[in-house]
Structure 1
C-alpha cells in the first residue's frame, strides 16, 4: 500500500494536521447532543466516555472526527478493536455488499463461511483446527466454559483463573474471577492463581531473583490439583493494565497443566488477531492452548468472535450436542464478511510482522517518557498494546488515578485519544498507522503528561 493510498493519509486529507496540540477544542454541538441524550440515557458509561464527553461523528484510519469537527489520533483504536483503523475501505465494501444480500439465517451455512474457516486455519496455530463462531467476547468465553464443563472428567469440577483477569461481564465470566455485584456473591467453583504483576508483586519479590515464584504457586494450587479441569487465562492481562509475564512464567505453568491433564483456555479476546506481534499472544509467549477465544480486532471492531480449539476438544460428543455452538447471532453473514475482509488484509499486507516493527518503535518512545516523568511508574507492553501506570511517586508506587484522568483529558484536548481505566492508560494504535503518526501521537502524550505533572 503506497502512502497516497494509506488510510492514515486519506483520513488527514483536507484536515489541519498541524493544528493538533493547539488545545483549541470546539464543543458547542457536542454539549447540546450530550444534554439531549442525558434525558433518557442510563448512567454507567465507561470512565473515558464520562470524562471525555465527546460525540464522535466519523472515523477514517487512525483519525476520529467529533461533531464539532475536531480531529483526534485514535490510540485506543475504538475499544482496542480497530486493527485496520476506522472504516477500512475493504471492510466497508465487504459489509455493504453482504448487507444487500443476507443478514441472518441463524447458524446455517452461507457462501463466505467456508472461506473464513480456511483463512482461520492458515492464520492460527496448526493444532487449533476447529472453530465455532459467535458475536462478542463474553459470549465466546461463555462458550469456552461450556466446553470445559461438558468435557471435564468426573471429579474435575474446579476451574483455574488468574487474579486481575477480566473475561467479560456475564455470569460465568464474572464467576471465574469472583467478581461480585451488589450484595450478590458468585464465587463459583474457580481457584485463583497469581498473575505475573511484577510491578506490584503480591509476594513482595523481585524478578529475576524471585525464580518466578508466582508461576510455581499457580502450578501448586491449580495445575497440580486433581480436581481442576482447566486454566482460563489472558496471556497478557489487558483490562488489568497490560500485564506482560516475565520469561519463565508460562513455560512453568503450561508444562505443568499439560502433564496433569488441565486444559489451557486462552482468552485472546483482546490480543488475538495480531495485536501483540503474533496472531495469538500465546504464540509469542510459547503457550500452546487447547482452546482460544478471539473477538475484538478479528473483524475490525464489528461484533464477531471465534472459539478455536483442538479437534478432539471441540468435536467431543459431550461438547458438540445439537445447539452447543449456536446462538442468535452466531455465524451471522455480516460478521463473517467483516472478519474475512479484516483477516485477509492482515494476511496479505503482513500486518502481524508490521506490528512487531511498530511495537519496537513504540516501546522505545514510551520508555523515554518513563525515564523523564517521575509519576509514570511503569510502562509495559507487547507489539501495539501498552499500559502506562501512573503513581504519586515511585518509592511508594501508590496508584494515582487523578493523574491518569487528567492526562487522558488533556491528551484528548490536544488531539489524542487513549484508553483510560483507573490509574492506567492503555495504548493500542491500529496496525496500519505509519511511523510519523505513531511518533506524533507519543509527542502529544508527552505534552499532555508534561502539562499535568509540571
Structure 2
C-alpha cells in the first residue's frame, strides 16, 4: 500500500498538478525517490523490482554508474550550444555506425520519440515524388502525441478530427484478428491487404510502422508478415520508416527489431533505450535519403534541444556499455527465462488469455473468458496493484500489462520478479485453470 509520506506528497501536488497522468501512475500512486539497477525505492523506503525499466527506457537499469559519470562530467562542462559540434558527437556517430546495419550510415539527433518521428515525416515529405502525397501506417500503432504522429494513426481528440493524408493497414494482431482468421491457415491475409492498400498504391510515399507494436500490447508479427510487405514496398518505391523508439537499442535481442524480422528500413527512429532514459533520440537513415538536397536545407535537423551535449554523453555511455558487455546477447538469454516463466503462469491462470513477446519485451493480455476473449481491464488493474504492493513494478495499459526488464537485471532478481507476479495473480484470482 502507498505509505503516509507518499500520500502527503501526492495530496500536496494534487492541488496544482493538472490531471492526465499515465494509467500506471494514476493507479499506482507511488512517489519514487531512488533507482539502482533494477530496483526502485519509494519515499517510505519500500523497494520494488522494476520490470518496466522506467518507461521501458532503462536498458542498463537505473543510474548506471558509467552513464551517471558521463552526465555529471558533461554537466560540469557544457549544456547547450544549439547544434554546434561538441566533443562527443563524432564518437557517437562512429559508435552508431558500428551498432547499426551498414546501410544506415547517416544520423541526426533529437530529444524525444515524438520529435524524431516528426523529423522522419518531414524527411518523407521532402523526398516524396510528385503525386505521392499519402503515408501508410498500421492500425493500433503509436508514434507519439504530436499532431503529425497522431495523424498517422487517425488519433482524434475531442471533436477535432485529423486523419490527414494517412492510410491505415492491418496490424498482425493474431490474437484478435480483425479478419476473424487464424494463423497460419489465414495465409497472412493482413499482410496481403497492407500490400494492396499501401505498398502497391502509386500515391503512397512511405509506410511508417513499429516492427513490434509496443503501446498496443506487444504485438509480434508472425512469420511471413513483414517478408511480404517489405518486399512489396521496395518493389513499388514506398519508403520503409521503422519506428523503433521502443524497440531500438537491443530490446528484442537484435540492435533493431527490424533486423530480427528481416526488414531493411530506409529510415529508423530511435529513442527510449538509447540514452538510459535521458531525453535523446536518433534518426538513422540511408545516405541517399538523409542527404537528399530537399532534406538537408538549413535548420531541418536543428531544434532547441537537438544535438544537446548531455544527451549525446548519456547515449554514448549507454551504447558503449551495451557493446562492451555484449548485453544484446544477454537479452536473448534473459528473454528465454522470462518467456518460460510467463508461459507457466499462463498455464495456471485462465485470466491470462495471451502471453506474447520477443527478447525482453512482453505483453500479458487479460481476459474474462478464454473462449470469448473478452478484455478484462479490471483484472489487469487488480494484478498491477497487487504486484506493486508485493514489491513489483510493471507497466499497465487497459487490459494489458507489459514487461521490459533492464538488460542488466540479475537472473535471480528476474526470477524473483516473475514469482512476485505469480503471487499477485494468485492474490487476485487464485490458481485458476
C-alpha separation in 2, matches of 1:450 and 1:282: 37
Alignment-derived partner of residue 154 in structure 2? 178
C-alpha separation in 1, matches of 2:139 and 2:364: 19
C-alpha separation in 2, matches of 1:356 and 1:285: 15
Query: Does 2:194 match 1:241?
Result: no
> Residue by residue, what CA displacement relative to the aligned partner does 1:50-96 show, whole Å, maximum 9, x if unpaired?
11000000000000000000000000000000000000000000000
Alignment-derived partner of residue 318 in structure 1? 294
C-alpha separation in 2, matches of 1:291 and 1:403: 39
Among 366, 369, 379, the residue aligned to 2:345? 369
Matches within 5 A, 1:161-172: 161-172=137-148
Among 31, 40, 49, the residue aligned to 1:73? 49
Structure 2 runs not aligned, ≥5 long: none
Among 22, 27, 38, the residue aligned to 1:62? 38
Query: Does 2:14 match 1:38?
Result: yes
Alignment-derived partner of residue 13 in structure 1? none
Matches within 5 A, 1:184-333: 184-333=160-309
What's the TM-score, normalizing by structure 2? 0.99
C-alpha separation in 1, matches of 2:94 and 2:17: 42
C-alpha separation in 2, matches of 1:98 and 1:398: 51
Alignment-derived partner of residue 420 in structure 2? 444
Among 353, 368, 372, the residue aligned to 1:396? 372
Alignment-derived partner of residue 104 in structure 1? 80
Q: Is the 8 A contact 2:230 2:240 kept in 1?
A: yes
User: Counterpart of 2:12 in 1: which secondary structure?
Assistant: helix
Per the TM alignment, residue 435 of structure 1 is displaced from its structure 2 partner at its CA by 1.0
C-alpha separation in 2, matches of 1:225 and 1:302: 39
Q: Is the 8 A contact 2:2 2:30 kept in 1?
A: no
What's the TM-score, normalizing by structure 1? 0.94
Q: Is the 8 A contact 2:2 2:29 kept in 1?
A: no
C-alpha separation in 2, matches of 1:145 and 1:88: 33
Query: Does 2:68 match 1:95?
Result: no
Among 88, 102, 122, the residue aligned to 2:98? 122
Query: Does 2:342 match 1:379?
Result: no
Matches within 5 A, 1:131-142: 131-142=107-118
C-alpha separation in 1, matches of 2:135 and 2:85: 33
Query: Does 2:410 match 1:434?
Result: yes
Alignment-derived partner of residue 332 in structure 2? 356
C-alpha separation in 2, matches of 1:229 and 1:380: 32
C-alpha separation in 2, matches of 1:453 and 1:194: 34
Per the TM alignment, residue 248 of structure 1 is displaced from its structure 2 partner at its CA by 0.4
Per the TM alignment, residue 38 of structure 1 is displaced from its structure 2 partner at its CA by 0.5
Per the TM alignment, residue 26 of structure 1 is displaced from its structure 2 partner at its CA by 6.0
Structure 1 runs not aligned, ≥5 long: 1-24
Per the TM alignment, residue 372 of structure 1 is displaced from its structure 2 partner at its CA by 1.1
C-alpha separation in 2, matches of 1:430 and 1:373: 26
Matches within 5 A, 1:402-421: 402-421=378-397
Q: Is the 8 A contact 1:26 1:70 kept in 2?
A: no
Q: Is the 8 A contact 1:219 1:252 kept in 2?
A: yes
C-alpha separation in 2, matches of 1:163 and 1:85: 31
Q: Is the 8 A contact 1:416 1:445 kept in 2?
A: yes
C-alpha separation in 2, matches of 1:216 and 1:250: 10
Per the TM alignment, residue 348 of structure 1 is displaced from its structure 2 partner at its CA by 0.1
Q: Is the 8 A contact 2:100 2:256 kept in 1?
A: yes
Per the TM alignment, residue 410 of structure 1 is displaced from its structure 2 partner at its CA by 0.3
User: Counterpart of 2:345 in 1: which secondary structure?
Assistant: helix
Alignment-derived partner of residue 126 in structure 2? 150
Q: Is the 8 A contact 2:40 2:49 kept in 1?
A: yes
